[in-house]
């Protein structure tokens, strides 16, 4: 039996033997493409080629692309676990032709690989072709139909035609598109999962699991314009995609993708951890949970490796949802503590050979996942409380249905997938208003679409070959003479005509000294002037190899062919200082915190710099001071800054650092700090791949100060710092504050710290005295507890003492619990009170109650989230604290419910 690794390699080798260039997978988090949350198809990295914006580097290509389908129309998240073939993360095997070969070779090679190389029985294969579409005035794809029977032995009755939905591929609402031809395999009658559906007939595209798609062959030959019309492209392309997971399942003779060696090592490890056995059954809640966890941990490893981090927006929100869904299904396997992070090494063992980056960042990924799991444990408990309230409301109203609004809140706020809410509702013999839920989901999707950033320039440039801009001048000049060769407006790229005063446009020059936004450095601002007009540049961007100056004509006009002068804003000098300082900062961080520190992102502007790094905890004040000192030492040494262009492999051998997830060409620009010239770059103390602008010598930076360090997500820290004039202004303000405080406190500046420290100590002492006096004047907690005991209910021989005390100190509360345990002989005790503005919950159980399975620690863990807190302890005694004392009564009510349920059971 072939392994997944061998199957992947045989696909790539097959096409390499046919003169295809192997192109490594692009990152799952697309670089410089905010229109796409995650790479969801192999063609994503070739998007500019299909749009006609750049010329392909090679006529043929092959790869295995990392894909994640969890948003938009490609969203398989809720289906994962229910069947044998849906996934969030998967590998897409693909081959491409860029105006080279077309349908005949594509069809013949796909058939040969499946039947001759991989040995699939030809009699099990079916082919589909495009049936045509009258609305688009497209005929049936007879060419593909004839080729199937001409270049392969497949009979004509196994070549079937389908409409636009199944056999016409489109990049989006507009853009490149074309008919496609799919290969399906018949897995036999036993594979059908719709035998009980009346009137169902097993056939291709009938919806059952007997016939599954193996490979989609897309023939891109049209461009869908914004008005919906189709026009032929100037070039024809081939884009094919075959899901590795399905191919492996077929070749390993497995009924389920999850039974292959891509998933079973993960499932086996999860089985060891949980004590549950995986039986590969559909409809089993235990097996569903195994499939969800195995799928989702793969997604998490690849997405977090490539730069996504859990958060409340965009890509981060999707990753958080995936992790929370896996965590919740882990509870189906009895896992109430973080465990998913322990599966990260197994994913690396399975896929690290093909994708070395996941091995490099495994420790970081584990740290992020573990931290997010711990946080969700608290949120999940609160979500269960919300569900209980919603269920109670449903019963009280007599509807026996959880409202769509409640289900959506659980989904949106607490990460509860709809199928989980339905499962919990079913356990209480309730239903869920899924129609309303879907309505609210639709509204959310519309809001997301409206908020999603799209580049209007790209939208109007489909099938437009833009000119290449000579922009090397950005590295050594802040002004240059040039010629205007075109501009872009809402109608597209213009090569002739005039733009008048007041018009907003993107001007294209034959050469420029403006830097286009990239690598964290903002695009330059400035002006473009001519004898006839003045254009203010607000931003500079790059599309393919073309630099576009975006702004507005404020005076006169501009004509094509006009001689102009491009002048960059004075902000350029401040940006250069901040950019070089980020290189210094990364070097210093690795010296102080260790080589495991990676750059996660950056922002380089004129006013400040921001640097995101991977690190599991907050650096100490001492460590940050050490970092600042190292940077300042290098600035004071006034070492040179040089750069050179070299082959990527040579740069990597020199140890030059690359931004993780960034796509680089065969040749890269390396910026070196400390080398006397570019021929001695190996002597530099810092070497980085970088296309940005920098100072010539480090002393030009003029100083360095970290003004903020914070966490932006689990395992990712953010440092904000100042240099140059921004630092001078900051220090000037700080000096003014010191002078004002010195005058106010009547002490010299050098004595300010001691004076403020003494004031804080005096204030703390006074607060303690006030608190002690207030508590002494308050009621006696022990006395109140005795009253609660006298009024308590009994379940059997056990007194259930639950109630709220007057505000008191936690020591007095513990005394009350100890008194009750001794006095009542058999008791379950939960007390709540306000302790200096915070909610405090105490639980105590006598040994006989603990023997019945009722533990103090379990109770406080369950009720602490209600007061927005947490806690724990021993079975006999536990405590919790929270931020919301107004919810103490709710927490005690929940505690009473749990105690009665346990003691009455």
Q: What is the pLDDT of residue 72?
A: 57
- Tens-digit pLDDT profile for residues 85-118: 789 999 999 999 999 999 999 999 999 999 999 9
Given a cut of 80, is residue 34 above it in pLDDT?
Answer: no
Q: How many CB atoms lie within 10 A of CB 243?
A: 21
704: closest CA among 723, 684, 676? 723
Task: Write down the pLDDT at residue 596.
Answer: 80
Per-residue pLDDT at 73 exceeds 80 = no
The answer to whether the beta carbons of residues 685 and 673 sit under 8 Å apart is: yes
Q: Measured at the alpha carbon of residue 587, what is the angle toward residues 582 and 588, in degrees to the nearest 5?
A: 95
Helix (H) or strand (E) run with residue 125 in it: strand 125-130
Whether 545 has a pLDDT exceeding 50, the answer reads yes
How far apart (Å, rounded) are the C-alpha atoms in residues 508 and 474? 15
C-beta neighbour count of 104 within 10 angstroms = 14
Beta bridge partners of 619: none
Is beta strand 827-835 parallel, antiparallel or unpaired with respect to 798-804?
A: parallel
Per the CB < 8 A criterion, the answer to whether 31 and 658 are in contact is no
Coil, strand or helix: which one is 281?
coil
Instruction: Mark residue 436 as left, alpha or beta (left: phi above 0; alpha: psi -120 to 50; beta: remaining).
Output: alpha
Dig out the tokens for 310 from the structure.
Answer: 């859990």
Per-residue pLDDT at 453 exceeds 50: no
Angle at CA of residue 865, ends 863 and 869, nearest 5°: 110
Return d(Cα 78, Cα 419) in angstroms, integer: 7
Looking at 492-566, list the stretches that DSSP marks H as alpha helix, in order from N- to C-terminal side: none
Class of residue 767 by CB neighbours under 10 A (exposed 0-12, middle 13-18, buried 19+): exposed
Cα separation of 326 and 394, whole Å? 28
Tokens of 601: 């992102």
Least confident segment among 73-77, 158-162, 282-286: 73-77
Residue 86 tokens read as 């849906």
pLDDT of residue 777: 44
Q: Which of 365-379, 544-558, 847-861, 879-893 has the lowest mean pLDDT?
A: 365-379
Q: In Å, what is the CA distance from 37 to each residue of 44, 72, 313, 319, 577?
A: 11, 9, 11, 11, 32
Burial of 16 (0-12, 13-18, 19+ CB in 10 A): middle
With beta carbons less than 8 A apart as the criterion, state whether 484 and 558 touch: yes
pLDDT interval class at 75 (50, 70, 90): low
Is 80 exceeded by the pLDDT of residue 802?
yes
Which stretches does DSSP call E strand in 636-690? Answer: 641-647, 667-673, 686-689
Q: What does the pLDDT average to over 543-554?
A: 91
**What does the alpha-carbon distance between residue 381 and residue 17 come to, in Å, rounded to a whole number?**
56
Q: Is the pLDDT of residue 33 over 80?
A: no
Spatial CA neighbour of 562 closest among 522, 533, 597: 533
Q: Are 156 and 101 in contact (CB under 8 A)?
A: no
The answer to whether 56 and 15 have CB atoms below 8 angstroms apart is no
pLDDT at 844 (0 to 100):
94
Bridge partners of 130, per DSSP, are: 162
Mean pLDDT value across residues 649-663: 77
Arithmetic mean of pLDDT, 536-542: 93
Q: What is the pLDDT of residue 29?
A: 87
Q: What is the pTM of this model?
A: 0.70
Q: DSSP string of 633-644?
A: HHHHTT-BEEEE
* pLDDT recorded at residue 191: 83
Report the pLDDT value the prediction gives residue 448, as an integer from 0 to 100. Answer: 61
The average confidence (pLDDT) of the chain is 89
pLDDT band at 124 (very low <50, low <70, confident <90, very high): very high
Extract the tokens encoding 707: 């003004």
pLDDT digits (tens, 9 = 90+) for 373-384: 888 877 776 777
Q: Which residues pair with 168 in a beta bridge?
A: 179
Q: Are 299 and 322 in contact (CB under 8 A)?
A: yes
Candidates 230, 236, 241, 231; CA nearest to 104 is: 236
Could you give the CA distance from residue 882 to residue 870 in angstroms, rounded to a whole number? 7
> Do 841 and 830 touch, CB atoms closer than 8 A?
yes
CB 86 within 8 A of CB 577: no
Question: pLDDT, tens digit, for every residue of 590-649?
Answer: 999 998 888 888 999 999 999 999 888 899 999 999 999 999 999 999 999 999 999 888
* Neighbouring residues of 777: CB distance < 8 A, sequence distance ≥ 6: none
Residue (of 678, 686, 673) closest to 645 by Cα position: 678
Q: At what angle do helices 142-151 and 103-112 cross, to 10 degrees?
A: 40
Q: Which residues contact 6 (CB under 8 A, 6 or more apart)?
A: none
Q: Where are the alpha helices (DSSP H) in 252-361?
A: 264-274, 285-305, 314-332, 344-351, 356-360
pLDDT tens digits for 573-590?
999 999 999 999 999 999
Looking at residue 16, its pLDDT comes to 97
What contacts 14, CB < 8 A, 6 or more positions away?
Answer: 109, 113, 117
Cα distance from N-terminal residue to C-terminal residue, the chain: 53
Which of these, 397, 375, 74, 11, lies nearest to 215 by C-alpha position? 11
Taking Cα atoms as reference points, which of 870, 872, 900, 868 lies closest to residue 887?
868
More confident residue, 119 or 676: 119
How far apart are alpha carbons 296 and 88 in whole angstroms? 7
Which residues are bridge partners to 795 per DSSP?
A: 798
* Torsion angles phi and psi, residue 787, rounded to 5: -65, -40
Distance between CA atoms of residues 400 and 497, nearest Å: 68
> What's the CA gap between 890 and 748, in Å, rounded?
53
Q: pLDDT band for position 80 (50/70/90)? A: confident
Sheet holding 667-673, edge to edge: 641-647, 667-673, 686-689
Looking at the chain, the whole-number percentage of residues with pLDDT higher than 90 is 58
Quickly list H helices, 594-723.
621-636, 648-653
Q: What's the pLDDT at 454?
A: 42
**Measured on CA atoms in the order 511, 513, 516, 520, is the torsion positive or negative?**
positive
Give pLDDT, residue 308: 87
CA angle 819, 824, 826 (to 5 degrees): 120
Q: Residue 709 in contact with residue 588, Cβ under 8 Å? A: no
Query: CA 343 to CA 615: how far, in whole Å?
Result: 20
The count of residues in the chain is 905
Can you tell me the distance from the alpha carbon of 727 to that of 607, in angstroms, rounded to the nearest whole number? 9
Taking CA atoms, 350 is separated from 41, 249, 316, 326, in Å, by 22, 15, 25, 19
pLDDT-based confidence at residue 285 (cuts at 50, 70, 90): confident
Distance (Å, rounded) from C-alpha 481 to C-alpha 478? Answer: 11
- Give the pLDDT of residue 657: 81
pLDDT at residue 461 greater than cutoff 70: no
User: Distance between CA 20 and CA 239 in Å, rounded?
Assistant: 13
């Amino acid at each position: 039996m072939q392994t997944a690794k061998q199957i992947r390699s045989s696909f790539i080798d097959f096409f390499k033997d046919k003169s295809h260039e192997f192109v490594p997978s692009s990152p799952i988090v697309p670089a410089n493409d905010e229109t796409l949350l995650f790479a969801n198809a192999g063609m994503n990295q070739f998007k500019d080629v299909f749009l006609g914006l750049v010329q392909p580097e090679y006529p043929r290509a092959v790869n295995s692309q990392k894909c994640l389908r969890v948003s938009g129309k490609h969203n398989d998240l809720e289906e994962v676990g229910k069947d044998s073939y849906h996934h969030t993360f998967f590998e897409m095997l693909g081959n491409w032709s860029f105006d080279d070969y077309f349908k005949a070779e594509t069809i013949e090679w796909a058939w040969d690989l499946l039947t001759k190389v991989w040995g699939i029985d030809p009699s099990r294969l079916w082919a589909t072709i495009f049936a045509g579409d009258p609305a688009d005035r497209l005929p049936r794809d007879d060419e593909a139909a004839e080729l199937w029977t001409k270049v392969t032995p497949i009979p004509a009755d196994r070549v079937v035609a389908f409409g636009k939905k199944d056999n016409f591929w489109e990049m989006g609402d507009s853009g490149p598109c074309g008919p496609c031809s799919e290969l399906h395999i018949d897995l036999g009658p036993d594979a059908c999962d719709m035998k009980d559906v009346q009137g169902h007939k097993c056939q291709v595209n009938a919806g059952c699991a007997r016939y599954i798609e193996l490979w989609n062959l897309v023939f891109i030959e049209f461009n869908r314009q914004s008005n919906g019309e189709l026009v032929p492209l100037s070039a024809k392309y081939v884009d094919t995609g075959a899901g590795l997971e399905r191919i492996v399942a077929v070749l390993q003779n497995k009924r389920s993708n999850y039974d292959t060696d891509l998933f079973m090592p993960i499932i086996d490890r999860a089985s060891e951890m949980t004590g549950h056995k995986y039986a590969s059954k559909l409809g089993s809640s235990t097996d569903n949970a195994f499939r969800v966890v195995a799928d989702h941990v793969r997604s998490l490893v690849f997405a977090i490796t490539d730069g996504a981090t859990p958060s409340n927006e965009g890509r981060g929100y999707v990753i958080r949802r995936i992790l929370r869904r896996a965590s919740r299904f882990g509870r189906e396997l009895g896992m109430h503590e973080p465990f998913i992070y322990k599966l990260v090494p197994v994913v690396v063992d399975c896929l690290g050979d093909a994708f070395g980056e996941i091995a490099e960042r495994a420790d970081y990924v584990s740290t992020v996942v573990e931290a997010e799991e711990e946080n969700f444990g608290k949120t999940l408990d609160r979500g269960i409380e919300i569900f209980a309230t919603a269920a109670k409301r449903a019963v009280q109203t007599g509807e026996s249905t959880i409202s769509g609004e409640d289900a959506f809140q659980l989904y949106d706020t607490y990460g509860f997938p709809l199928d989980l809410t339905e499962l919990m509702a079913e356990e209480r013999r309730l239903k869920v208003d899924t129609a309303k839920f879907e309505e609210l989901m639709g509204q959310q999707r519309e809001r997301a679409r409206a908020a999603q950033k799209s580049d209007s320039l790209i939208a109007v440039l489909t099938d437009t070959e833009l000119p290449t801009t000579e922009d090397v001048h950005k590295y050594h000049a802040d002004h240059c003479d040039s010629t205007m060769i075109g501009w872009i407006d809402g109608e597209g790229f213009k090569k002739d005509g005039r733009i008048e005063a007041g018009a907003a446009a993107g001007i294209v020059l034959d050469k420029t000294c403006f830097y286009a936004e990239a690598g964290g450095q903002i695009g330059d601002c400035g002006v473009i002037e001519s004898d006839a007009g003045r254009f203010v540049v607000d931003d500079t961007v790059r599309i393919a190899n073309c630099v576009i100056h975006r702004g507005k004509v404020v005076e006169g006009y501009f004509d094509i062919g006009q001689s102009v002068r491009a002048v960059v804003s004075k902000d350029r000098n401040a940006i250069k200082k901040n950019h070089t300082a980020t290189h210094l900062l990364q070097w210093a961080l690795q010296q102080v915190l260790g080589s495991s520190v990676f750059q996660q992102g950056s922002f380089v502007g004129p006013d400040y710099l921001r640097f995101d790094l991977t690190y599991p905890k907050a650096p100490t004040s001492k460590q940050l001071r050490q970092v600042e000192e190292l940077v300042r030492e290098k600035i004071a040494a006034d070492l040179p800054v040089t750069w050179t262009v070299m082959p990527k492999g040579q740069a990597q051998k020199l140890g030059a650092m690359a931004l993780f997830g960034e796509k680089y060409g065969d040749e890269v620009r390396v910026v070196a700090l400390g080398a006397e010239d570019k021929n001695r770059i190996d002597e530099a103390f810092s070497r980085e791949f970088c296309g940005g602008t920098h100072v010539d010598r480090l002393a030009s930076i003029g100083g360095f100060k970290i003004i903020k360090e914070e966490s932006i997500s689990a395992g990712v820290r953010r440092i904000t710092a100042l240099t140059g004039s921004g630092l001078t202004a900051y220090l000037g303000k700080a000096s003014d504050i010191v002078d004002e405080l010195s005058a106010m406190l009547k002490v010299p500046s050098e004595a300010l710290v001691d004076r403020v420290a003494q004031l804080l100590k005096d204030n703390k002492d006074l607060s303690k005295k006030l608190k002690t006096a207030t508590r002494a004047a308050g009621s006696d907690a022990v006395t109140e507890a005795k009253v609660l005991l006298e009024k308590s209910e009994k379940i059997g021989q056990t007194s259930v003492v639950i109630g709220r005390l007057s505000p008191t100190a936690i020591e007095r509360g513990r005394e009350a619990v100890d008194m009750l345990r001794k006095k009542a002989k058999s008791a379950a005790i939960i007390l709540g009170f306000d302790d200096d503005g915070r909610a405090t919950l105490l639980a105590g159980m006598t040994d006989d109650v603990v023997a019945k399975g009722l533990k103090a620690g379990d109770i406080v863990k369950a009720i602490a989230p209600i007061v927005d807190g947490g806690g724990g302890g021993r079975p006999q005694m536990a405590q919790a604290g929270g931020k919301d004392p107004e919810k103490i009564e709710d927490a005690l009510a929940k505690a009473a419910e749990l105690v009665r349920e346990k003691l009455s059971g």
